[in-house]
Amino acid sequence: MSTRQRILDTALDSFGTDGVDGTSLDALARTLGLRKQSILYYYPSKAALFEAVVDEAAARFAEALDEVVIDATDVWEQVEGTVRVVFRMATQRPALLGLLREASRPGSSVAVQLTGRLAGHIDAARHSLEIALKEGRVAGEDARLLLFSLYSTIMGVATEVEVLRAMGVEPSLRTLAQRRAELLRFLRAALNPSTERSFAAS
Amino acid sequence: MSTRQRILDTALDSFGTDGVDGTSLDALARTLGLRKQSILYYYPSKAALFEAVVDEAAARFAEALDEVVIDATDVWEQVEGTVRVVFRMATQRPALLGLLREASRPGSSVAVQLTGRLAGHIDAARHSLEIALKEGRVAGEDARLLLFSLYSTIMGVATEVEVLRAMGVEPSLRTLAQRRAELLRFLRAALNPSTERSFAAS
DNA sequence: GTCGGGCTCTACCAATTGGTAGGGGAGACG
DNA sequence: CGTCTCCCCTACCAATTGGTAGAGCCCGAC
C-alpha cells in the first residue's frame, strides 16, 4: 500500500479512536514508522489530513451502504441491510464509526463536507421512506424525521459501548448477536404501520 | 456563585462543547477572567477538573431525571418524561449533553465514574422495564437491551444536530416540537406490545 | 496589631504542539 | 554521465501545553 494511503488509514484509526485533538502528528508518524514531516509532505496540514480522512471514511461508509441499496427491494430490507453493514463496521473497524461520530459533532468544521459526501445516500433513503409512508407501508409523519430517528437508534446501539456496559451488558461477540436481534425487533415494531395510535399512555 | 462553582460550570460548558482535549486551561481561565493557576488551586490537575465536571454533569442529569421517576406511574410516562427532560437540556444547556457524550466515549477514563453515578437511575429504569415486559405491557425480549435502544434513540435525536441538518431539517425551536412529537410517536410504536411479529419483511 | 488561612497572582518550567526550510538519496530518463 | 523528480529525512521554530514555586493580598479571629 502506498505511503499516502497508509497515512490515511492510520490517521482514520487514530482520529476515530482518540479524536483529532487527541492525536498528534508526531504520535501518528511514530506508529507509521515515519517522521511527522513525511505526513506533512502528503498532507500540508493537520486540518487537510483530517478532511482527507473524513472523505475516506465517508467513501468507505457509502461504499458499504451501496451493497444494501442495490439489493434492497423495500424499506425494511434497507433498514435490515443498514443494520448489518453498521454492525459489521462496529466489529471490524470501530474507529470508522468513531470518526463519523467525531466528524458529525455539533459545530464540527467538517460536518458539511461529510454530509455532502453522503447526500446521495441520504436522499435515496429519504425518498424510499417517503414512498413507503405515502403508501402506508410504514408508520410515521415526516420521512426526514423518521430517517433521523432510525439513524440515531442504529448508530447509538452500534457505538455506545460504554452505555451498554452501564446497562449491565458486557460487549462481546455473543451479546452482539443479541443486541442486533433486539435492535431489529425494536425497529420493526417502530416502523410497523398497523398499530398507529393503538397504544395510549398507561 | 463561588469561584469553585464558576470554574466547574464554565468547564462543563467548554468541555461539553469543544471537548476536553479541545479546551486548554489557559483558555478556560481567560473566559473566567482568571489565571490558569487559580483553576489549579481548586482542582489539582486538568484530569481532576474533568472528573469533577463529570460528577457535576451526572448529578444535574440525575436531578433532572428524578422529577420524571417520581411522577411517573408507568413505563410510558417515564419514557415521555425522559424525552421531556432531555429535550429541555438540549435547548437550555446543550453542553451538558455534549459532556455526557464526551464522557461516555469508548475507552473514556471517566466512563465508569459517570455510569456509576447514574447506576441508581439505570437500575430503576431497567427494573420497571422488566416488570412491564413480564406483564406484557411493552414489547421486547431483554430489558437491558431495550433500555439501551431507548437511550440511544433519545440521546441521538436530541444531540445529533449535524445529522439532522444532513436530513434537510434546520434545527430551530419550531422544528424542535416536531422532532419531539415524531420521536414520541416512534418510541410509542416501538414499545407497543400488541403487534409483535405482525410486520414481516416485504 | 498581628497572625493565619483563603485566594489569586507573577514568574517559570520542560515538554509537546503544528509547521517551515531545506538536505540528500534513489531511481527514471535524456 | 547529469539532472530531475519523488520521497523521506534532520534541524529548527514560535507558540502553547499542563504544572510547580512561591509571593502578596484581603479579611476575620485572637
Residue-wise pLDDT tens for chain B (202 aa)?
Answer: 899 999 999 999 999 999 999 999 999 999 999 999 999 999 999 999 999 999 999 999 999 999 887 777 789 999 999 999 999 999 999 999 999 999 999 999 999 999 999 999 999 999 999 999 999 999 999 999 999 999 999 999 999 999 999 999 999 999 999 999 999 999 999 999 875 544 444 3
Contacts of A112 (CB under 8 A, 6+ apart): none
In this prediction, residue A194 carries a pLDDT of 74
Alpha helices in chain A (DSSP H): 3-18, 25-32, 36-42, 46-71, 75-92, 94-103, 111-117, 119-134, 143-159, 161-166, 173-191
The C-alpha of B178 sits at a distance from chain A's nearest C-alpha, in angstroms, of 8
Class of domain B53-194: mainly alpha
CA-wise closest residue to B144 among B154, B156, B158, B129: B129
Residue A75 near residue A138 (C-beta atoms within 8 A)? yes
The radius of gyration of chain A's CA atoms, rounded to the nearest angstrom, is 19
Spanning CA of A115 to C1' of C3, the rounded length in angstroms is 65
Instruction: Encode chain B in three state secondary structure.
Output: CCHHHHHHHHHHHHHHHHCCCCCCHHHHHHHHCCCHHHHHHHCCCHHHHHHHHHHHHHHHHHHHHHHHHHHCCCHHHHHHHHHHHHHHHHHHCHHHHHHHHHHCCCCCCCHHHHHHHCHHHHHHHHHHHHHHHHCCCCCCCCHHHHHHHHHHHHHHHHHCHHHHHHCCCCCCHHHHHHHHHHHHHHHHHHHCHHHCCCCCCC
In this prediction, residue A199 carries a pLDDT of 46
Return residues 45-84 of B near A (CB < 8 Å): 73-74, 76-77, 80
- CA pair distance B119, B99, nearest whole angstrom: 18
Query: What is the pLDDT averaged over residues A119-131?
Result: 94
| Strand, coil or helix: A172 | coil
In this prediction, residue A196 carries a pLDDT of 52
Of A183, A193, A198, the CB nearest to B194: A198
Return residues 93-122 of A near B (CB < 8 Å): 94, 98, 104-108, 111, 114-115, 118-119, 122
Residue A87 near residue A158 (C-beta atoms within 8 A)? yes
pLDDT at A195 over 80: no
- CA pair distance B99, A116, nearest whole angstrom: 27
* Chain-centre distance for alpha carbon B37: 31
The C-alpha of A186 sits at a distance from chain B's nearest C-alpha, in angstroms, of 6
- CA pair distance A21, A29, nearest whole angstrom: 15
- Domain spans in chain B, listed from the N-terminal domain onward: 53-194
Block residue for cell numbers 461539553: B16
Buried/exposed code over B52-85 (b: 16+ C-beta within 10 A; e: otherwise): bbbbbbbeebeebbeebbeebeebbebbbbbbeb
Residue A134 near residue B76 (C-beta atoms within 8 A)? no
Question: If one looks up domain A51-193 in CATH, what number appears?
Answer: 1.10.357.10
| Strand, coil or helix: A71 | helix
* Nearest residue on chain A to B24, alpha-carbon basis: A21
Residues of A in contact with B146 (CB under 8 A): 182, 186
- CA pair distance A199, A187, nearest whole angstrom: 16
Dihedral (Cα; A180, A181, A182, A183), 10-degree rounding: 50
Confidence of residue A193 (pLDDT cuts 50, 70, 90): confident
The C-alpha of A8 sits at a distance from chain B's nearest C-alpha, in angstroms, of 22
Residues of B in contact with A142 (CB under 8 A): 178, 182
In this prediction, residue A65 carries a pLDDT of 93
Dihedral (Cα; B137, B138, B139, B143), 10-degree rounding: -120
User: In Å, how far are A139, A165, B139, B179, B198 from A194, measured between CA atoms?
Assistant: 8, 34, 15, 22, 8
The three cell numbers locating residue A50: 483530517
